Structure 1
Amino acid sequence: MILRTLLMSALALGAPAATAHAETARPAITWQKCPGYSDDVLRARGLRDADFAEFRRLLGRTECGTLSVPQSYGDPAGKQLTIALTRLKATGPEGRLGSLAINPGGPGSSGYLMPIDLVMTGVGLNGRYDLIGFDPRGVGYSTKAKCPAGTVERPPPGPVTEELARAVYSNVIKDNQACASSNPGFFGALTTANVARDLDRIRAALGESRLSYVGVSWGTWLGTVYRSLFPDRVHRMWLDSVALPVPRLDVFTQGRAEAADRDFQRMAAWLAERDAAYGLGSSKDEVVATLTEMRTSYDAEPLTFTDVDLTVDGRLIADIGSQPSVAWPELGPVLKELKDATGPEAPPTIKRIFGEQPPPPPADAPERNNPAANLAFFCNEDSGPRTFESAWNAYQRRLVRFPVTGEAGMFFPRCAGWPLPVQTTRLRHSGGSLMLSGHLHESPSPYEWTLQTRAAIGGSVVTVDDDMHASALRVPGCVTKMIDYFEKGRRTSTCPGVPVPDSTELQPSPGSPAEATLPAATAFPTVAGLPAGAAFPTVAGLSAGTAFPTVAGLPG
């Protein structure tokens, strides 16, 4: 009876409208004073003290507002939600070309301050465009989602047994049901299609006949949905690190696992070329064998240290093997030390990297990622299987196929027990300009997803020869091509990426001081209430992947 009530409530309140309704009256934005941010908040965002004045100068130029939208577009006069947005008006001497909205991914990530982030990192789109940031429904300054406290605990060190996996699965079901049932109408309305409709209300409220858009990771899925629902309202659109065009978490997890292993093979070859420095093997096969043995032995006998809060087990080795190339010069010494580490004290590189954890964000810091919204967006649209057997059997196959990185994957169906109905959006080919940049070697958004998305909706593919998630917004040469596209309509088929380091020295990351505020890779989606796992720390200012799902979550 409870389940039927939840389903009927979601169908009544959260179901998308059959068509994209034209608004009878222009929606109104309530403009207000922007929030202020302390120095501690700016440091938590990755800014250096020297950059505070520039951030505050740009904040002084920023307009902050809110907009009311229907919780359900099937009932436009019913319950309303608040969407928070920002506008950084165009400054260039040449003619203004319109408004350009930005989404950093997630789902569940805040884009409120992203116009400032882009300007501070040298993405010069503000000359002829008003940059529009916004928090999607469920996130940040918008009407926020929150689940009851969860019961899922991170597995202890060592291999995950079937018994333990079934216990996690059981708790995931309980947590998901408790989350959805806490506010089924609201949680059922957290869909990409509804965010697209919210975005179109922002467009209308700004007085724009068409909207330009930049999205990365999940933000690319939002872009494809917006373009499918409102094809005549898109001016120019660039989607970077393109998401899977069919929202199925089983396909999503498998695709990322395959791409992670492909990139690890590149890493193994890179380490082999530097065997004199790292001593892990003089050929790719030897390095793979060394790391396979390390993963197996540390699973059998996890290692702890007296001076660092770290447990080395097989999952940590899998995490390390799943990192992008910018981190390899720092990972090489870590693996070299772990090859023969015995404790009780941590070796120097491990102590340096893992010894100091970043402080938690200040209490007044704006929300960067909302795990409850992340859960709802995924589970309301996941059309894949959710049985324990389907996820566990796939996980076992990955352990065999990918002996180093396979353990970094999900071993349970993340949406198990989510009681609200699946809501799908059919993607459509349409006219209009669209650029899809895919990264040949990255694992969070494998390159083949870019080609699959082009087949589903059209557009032009831009190939980036790197393994970095969302690097189109980080690499100056690619940013230049992006600006040419938005300002002059010039298309390109290639974009420079982040080069593979050619030495054992840690390389500076591309971009400028606020780089940490731009989208970063997350290996797997977040689970509400799940304690953070052993994520490899930030390297060179770029946030690395997380093998086990995390509470806070990073843009993905």
Structure 2
Amino acid sequence: MTYRTSLTALALTLAGLVAHPSPAVALSSVQWKSCPAYSDEVIRSLRVTEEQVPAFRTLMKRLECGTVSVPLNHRDPGGRKIDIAVTRLAATDGSRRLGAIAVLPGGPGNSGYLDPILRSALRNKEMAGLNERYDIIGFDPRGVGYSTKAACPLSPMGPQEPGTMTKETARKIYDSQVATNQKCGRSDPAFLGQLTTANVAKDLDLVRAALGERTLNLLGFSWGTYLGMVYRSEFPEHTGRAFLDSVAPPWTRLDRHTKDAAAAAERNFGRMATWLARRDELYGLGATARQVREEVARLVGAYDKSPKTFAGLQRPIDGSAVADLAKLNSTEWVRAGKALAELRTTTGTTAPPTVKELLGAPMMGTPVPGAPETLNMTMNLAVACNEDAGRTGFDTAWRAHQRLVTRHPATGRGWGLGVRCAGWPLPVQETTLRRGGGSLVLAGHLHEFMSVYDWTLQTRRAVGGTVYTIADDVHVSATRVPECAADVVRYFDTGRIGSGCAGVALPS
């Protein structure tokens, strides 16, 4: 479909996109088939260590792979069908089996196909124990990986002029995003308009039925937490225990999302500043947290005023690059401190070593041949924009950006203009969350900005559940930290959980 497509035709195409309760859908079965074969290079590209490769291959021999056919439009169950790719790692102790846990991936747009291995059996000995009494279910949501998907004609954003963002530059960014979104949304509206969290939840329930499970237990991460909320709202009678880590908000407005996340990032930089001040002899950024904050804000302004181009770096270093360093979580504070110190003193044209480590890698690396897709940007864009109830015009976005940069002097420049869904031509599709389903644990991280802790509290007010507080700033760390992971496994085994865990420790 081209830009010349008439608005009338587009409106007719979109008329069926507003969500309504699905009629009964004929049960599908899983079409089991051989799992993909991966080279060692591909396996390592999945962040599997050299030492873990043999264990990964052993687990792949146990993994079952298949597809489930589901309606593209759940309001038209007799219409076009699409395939959802599914995997299962059967419980190792079948005599004590408790059921099945579906792993809900982040994104939107992340693959969950190999999550039974990567997020459970191979993660650590605690999470491996989850597979003793539960089948672990993975899947690629519609639009991702081995499931039916589409590829938008997404035009890459050209390099932006380094330095302080002017209104003229912001306008160019906005206009480019509008053109890209309109081209994408009109390329296949019949498919792209059906990429919503609610439809993924309905797909998942058909997967449940195809697997012969009366209920599904849920282990969700990031966007997968919102998927878990929606699934519980749509199918409370089919929902068992749910543990949701790094909880999404119970609303879908990208402008509000950015505002909240930016404030949380600046707060967490205050913790970094305190940590750096205690090590002033190493970093030289200030002996008090206030001095560090002022020095980093000064660096943001200085590099915006006079950006530098270093040999060996693809991006010029301006205030946004300095702010990106200030936004890093505590696992990177050692390197962030070194990089900020390097930017404070460097005079040459060669990129300082730590700056190159942290800012030299491309955002999206080249996939290894034969590697499974880990993130589908078309699905990411479509779900985000189909559900964004806060699409903003240029003037509103520009004012919001200026306020954000002023209020958050250390990290504010690390945020874009906030016009991700500008010009998206498909209608907004909102979902109403409801209470219901089995027991629910909402794991919130006190200091992270990718999933703001207050969103966990807002979600509890909206859908109920127990808050499990992790005292770190690391996104989706619950299953990575042994003490926290043990709590996760204990919860699924017994239904009981404590009030929280320490999470990832600060660097010493």
What TM-score, normalized to structure 1?
Answer: 0.87
Partner of 1:34: 35
1:379 aligns to 2:368 (yes or no): no
Q: Does the CA contact (< 8 Å) of 1:305 and 1:344 recur in 2?
A: yes
Alignment equivalent of 1:241, drawn from 219, 238, 246: 246
- Checking the alignment, whether the CA contact within 8 Å between 1:439 and 1:469 is kept in structure 2 is yes
2:505 aligns with: 499
Letter aligned with residue 21 of structure 2: T
- RMSD over aligned Cα atoms: 1.6
Instruction: Tell me if the contact between 2:330 and 2:473 (Cα under 8 Å) persists in the aligned partners.
Output: yes
Structure 1 residue 154: deviation in Å? 3.5
Q: How far 1:5 moved relative to its partner?
A: 2.6
**In the superposition, relative to structure 1, how do residues 423 and 483 fare at CA in structure 2: closer, same or farther (>3 Å)?**
same
Q: Specify the code of the residue in structure 2 equivalent to 1:72.
A: N
CA distance in 1, matches of 2:135, 2:23: 25
SS in structure 2 opposite 1:138?
coil
Query: Aligned partners of 2:14, 2:271: CA distance in 1, in Å?
Result: 46
Partner SS state of residue 472, structure 1: coil
Partner of 1:49: 50
The reply to whether residue 303 of structure 1 matches residue 308 of structure 2 is yes
Alignment: residue pair count: 499
Q: Give a deviation string over 1:54-102, Cα, whole Å, max 9, x none.
A: 1111000000000111010110000111100100000026511111100
Are 1:119 and 2:121 matched, yes or no?
A: yes
CA–CA distance in structure 1, aligned partners of residues 358 and 437 of structure 2: 49
Task: Name the stretch that deviates more: 239-248 or 422-431.
Answer: 422-431
Which deviates more, 87-96 or 454-463? 87-96
Q: Does 1:405 align with 2:411?
A: yes
Given that 2:202 and 2:231 are in contact with CA atoms closer than 8 Å, whether structure 1 keeps it comes out as yes
> CA–CA distance in 1 between the matches of 2:194 and 2:260?
28
1:539 match:
none
- 1:19 lines up with 2:25 in the alignment: no
Partner of 2:157, secondary structure, is: coil
User: Does structure 2 conserve the Cα–Cα contact (< 8 Å) formed by 1:137 and 1:143?
Assistant: yes
Output the CA distance in 1 between the equivalents of 2:275 and 2:323. 17
Q: Could you tell me whether the CA contact under 8 Å between 1:245 and 1:453 is conserved in 2?
A: yes
3-state SS in 2 of match to 1:142: coil
Q: What pairs with 1:366-515 in structure 2 (closer than 5 Å)?
A: 366-502=372-508
In 2, Cα distance between the equivalents of 1:21 and 1:450?
33
Whole-Å separation in 1 of the counterparts to 2:404 and 2:312: 34
The 8 Å contact of residues 303 and 342 in structure 1, kept in 2 or not, is answered as no
Q: Deviations 1:302-361 (Å, cap 9, x if unpaired)? A: 112234445211010010000101100111111111101111223343345556779622
Among 336, 342, 349, the residue aligned to 2:347? 342
Please point out which of 316, 319, 329 is paired with 1:314.
319
Deviations 1:417-437 (A, max 9, x none): 111111111011125200000
Q: Does 1:213 align with 2:218?
A: yes
| 1:216–1:470 Cα contact (<8 Å) kept | yes
Q: CA deviation at 1:413?
A: 1.6
- Quote the residue 1:537 is aligned against: none
Q: Displacement of 1:488 after TM fit?
A: 0.9
Q: Which residue of 2 aligns with 1:543?
A: none
Question: Structure 2 matches for 1:77-96, cutoff 5 A?
Answer: 77-92=78-93, 95-96=96-97
Correspondence list, 1:195-274, <5 A:
195-274=200-279
SS in 2 for 1:297: helix
CA 276–234 in structure 1, closer or farther in 2 if over 3 Å, else same: same
Per-residue deviation, 1:376: 0.3
- Report the residue type matching 1:175 in the other structure: T
Is 301-310 or 493-502 further displaced after alignment? Answer: 301-310
Q: 1:189: which partner in 2?
A: 194
CA–CA distance in structure 1, aligned partners of residues 86 and 469 of structure 2: 32
* AA in 2 matched with 1:500: L
Change in CA separation of 1:457 and 1:27 when aligned onto 2, cut-off 3 Å: same
Change (3 A) 1:258 1:346: same
Q: How does 1:60-71 map to 2 (within 5 A)?
A: 60-71=61-72
Query: Could you say if the C-alpha distance between residues 454 and 353 of structure 1 is closer, same or farther in structure 2, counting changes exceeding 3 Å?
Result: closer
8 Å Cα contact 1:6-1:419 kept in structure 2: no
Distance in 2, Cα, partners of 1:462 & 1:275:
35
Q: Which residue identity is paired with 1:433?
A: S
The answer to whether the 8 Å contact 1:15/1:189 transfers is no
Cα 1:259–1:4 shift into 2, 3 Å: farther
Q: Is the 8 A contact 2:258 2:418 kept in 1?
A: no
CA offsets 1:97-133 (integer angstroms, 9 cap, x no match): 1111002200000000000112111212111111000
**Residues 330 and 507 of structure 2 are in contact (CA less than 8 Å); yes or no, is this contact kept in structure 1?**
yes
Structure-2-length-normalised TM-score? 0.95
Q: In the alignment, residue 34 of structure 1 is paired with which amino acid? A: C
Q: Identity of aligned pairs, percent?
A: 49
> What is the CA–CA distance in structure 2 between the aligned matches of 1:476 and 1:163, rounded to whole Å?
50
1:517 maps to what in 2? none
- 2:102 aligned with 1:97: no
Give SS of 1:294's match: helix
2:11 pairs with 1:7: yes
CA 180–355 in structure 1, closer or farther in 2 if over 3 Å, else same: closer
Aligned residue identity for 2:327: S
Q: CA separation in 2, counterparts of 1:71 and 1:195?
A: 10
User: Per-residue deviation at 1:149?
Assistant: 3.7
Do the aligned partners of 2:22 and 2:75 also contact (CA within 8 Å) in 1? no
Structure 1 match to 2:328: 323
| CA distance in 1: counterparts of 2:269 and 2:360, whole angstroms | 25
* Distance in 1, Cα, partners of 2:458 & 2:359: 39
Could you tell which deviates more after superposition, 140-149 or 436-445?
140-149
- How far off is 1:404 after superposition? 1.1
The 3-state SS of whatever aligns with 1:147 is: coil
SS in 2 for 1:102: strand
Secondary structure of 1:395's counterpart equals helix
**Structure 2 unmatched ranges of 5 or more:** none
- CA distance in structure 2 between the aligned counterparts of 1:29 and 1:443, rounded to whole angstroms: 39
Measured against aligned partners, the alpha-carbon deviations of 1:474-516 in whole angstroms (never above 9, x if no partner) come to 11111111111101111222123001112xxxxxxxxxxxxxx
Tell me which amino acid in the other structure corresponds to 2:55: E
Contact kept in structure 2, 1:253 and 1:410, CA below 8 Å: no
- Note if contact 1:225-1:427 (Cα within 8 Å) is conserved in structure 2: yes
The structural deviation recorded for 1:462 is: 0.5
- What SS is found at the alignment partner of 1:177? helix
Report the alpha carbon displacement of residue 392 of structure 1 after superposing the two structures with TM. 1.1
Q: Which moved more, 1:466-475 or 1:140-149?
A: 140-149
